[in-house]
Amino acid sequence: MERHGFSFKVIGKVQGVFFRKYTHRKASQLGLAGWVCNCGDGSVAGVAEGPKADLEIFKKFLCEEGSPNSKIERCEITNYAKRTGPQRAGGFVVKDDDHCESFS
């Protein structure tokens, strides 16, 4: 089975504005797997996997919408090479901030 995914980092006013909550909600609505967390530099980062069309919707959310009070300055997306095998298990989660820098 072919799977798609990307890592992301969103820079701007994205902490203290429920960005992770809205990101989790949107990813869950789309049926994506992965995670999101706050980073020490004030950004939000994460990983998402799922159907290509749903990932495109999620990218637009991350880079253009976010939470109601967020101010997105820059959005960095790094696409995975196509992979085979099952999608990540466990759905989409909010990670503890101290695990943010490990893109696993």
Structure tokens at 75: 């959005």
- Is 19 within 8 Å of 75 (Cβ atoms)? no
Instruction: State yes or no: is 83 an active-site residue.
Output: no
Catalytic (active site) residue 79:
no
CA distance 55 to 30: 8
Cβ atoms of 100 and 45 closer than 8 Å: yes
Q: Nearest CA to 3 among 62, 80, 78, 76?
A: 80
| 3 state SS of 53 | helix
| Catalytic residue selected from 3, 38, 79, 83 | 38
- Catalytic entry in 3, 20, 74, 83: 20
So which residues are the catalytic ones? 20, 38
